[in-house]
Amino acid sequence: MSRAEEELRSIVRKLLERKDVELVLGYEYYGRSVRPCFVSKPEEVERLVWNSDCWFNLATYLRSLRSRRVGIVAKGCDGRSIVELVKENQVDRGSIVVIAVECNGVFKPFKYGSTHVGRRLADYCRRCVTRVSPVADYLVKKGGQAPEDENTVAGDNASDWLSLFRKCLKCMACVKACPLCYCTECSIEGFKPDLVHRLRVPQELFTFHLTRALHMAGRCVECGACESACPVEIPLTRLYHELNEWFRENYGYAPGMSLSEAPPPLVFKEGGED
């Protein structure tokens, strides 16, 4: 057990004992890997772990726990998604306790049929700009050990996005893993079949992915949850990163960095492009 884990557990125990929160979202071991867990009793805190396999973004669960007081273990990017959720009126900052954990990056999860053998730092973590959550009520320093690549195979440098999209199964794992995909009637899940129909595979994959990218533009906090959840390993975060770059270049704006920073009005000043 690392010192960070120890610290994390004591914070959570205190929160639960004082009944500051009803439950805490954290990570636990599940076989050799890690999965999200919900801790609601002080004696359960021993389940909590914190290491470089904790790639899930727990903020995904916040919206469904909206009416309750919850604590959440948040990496830097998870914190950014909490900021976005608060800005978008989905989560009340006052009802959540953010236990920020300093993060040095997470490993890509192992997948059946994956081209990656061994543990490898996720590509989106290599682009990380916030190792600590911008919102925090508690801070746990030194997040685990700095992950080391055990694999020297080059990352996903595939540039043929069309063939990457073609692998897509429309399983919606990316949508379900994403903390910011909370629409009640997801437009790419095919509630209205006019744009994308979920059962028409492999049709409409282009519209599916580009629409999702457009919906994430300027909002995606690049936590990589979608990409890690994807069974066919489409490097979605890289796509969304490009769109965030567009926002940064045009408006100097990055999502999830500050609660007071409103998203820019989507306009070009007169005589913009062309």
Binding site for other proteins (CB under 8 A): 87-90, 159-162, 165-166, 182-187, 191-192, 194-195, 202-207, 210-211, 213-215, 217, 239, 242-243, 245-246, 250, 262-274
Measure the CA–CA gap between 107 and 110, rounded to whole angstroms: 9
Determine how many CB atoms are found less than 10 A away from the CB of residue 34. Answer: 22
CB of 67 to other proteins, least distance (A): 12
CB of 172 to other proteins, least distance (A): 14
Give the nearer residue to other proteins in terms of CB position, either 118 or 202.
202
CB of 95 to other proteins, least distance (A): 14
Give the nearer residue to other proteins in terms of CB position, either 14 or 200.
200
What are residue 27's DSSP bridge partners?
Answer: 36, 49
Give the nearer residue to other proteins in terms of CB position, either 38 or 182.
182
CB of 159 to other proteins, least distance (A): 6
Give the contacts of 54 (CB within 8 A, at least 6 positions apart): 27, 34, 73, 75, 106
Give the nearer residue to other proteins in terms of CB position, either 162 or 199.
162
